[in-house]
Amino acid sequence: MWTSFSRERLDRAASAVREFGCSDAAECLAPGERRMLFVSGKQVAAKSLAGDTLWGVAVERAIADTDYVSSLQMAGRKVVLWNPNDAGQWTAAAELAPDVVMTDYPEEYRDWLANR
């Protein structure tokens, strides 16, 4: 699976924070909007997310491993792996079994998925 976020959507979220005076973007979300934590540099323990309303956790490829991805999924979070960008990295990502792969090359990734 692949996904991308439009610049327009990100700009809209930032504008809402400014316009409505929210202390953070989560306060400006409409009910039912999904929230995701981006994790980079160091893993955040899945148990520390208990009770949070996060939909998922976006994990930087460099810190992802099978145990970490599995622990987040067992805690009920979707795992988005970012940023594998070539066939070797996509192969390694597939072994981790994330729910979503976020790449800078979605068309090439789609082709890779179709031909593996």
Q: Which helix (H) or strand (E) holds 100?
A: strand 100-102
pLDDT of residue 1: 36
Cβ pair 58, 37 in contact under 8 A: yes
Per-residue model confidence as pLDDT tens digits over 59-90: 999 999 999 999 999 999 999 999 999 999 99
Q: pLDDT-based confidence at 44, cuts 50/70/90?
A: very high
Question: Which tokens is 113 given?
Answer: 């998925």
Average pLDDT, rounded, for the chain: 83
pTM of the model: 0.73
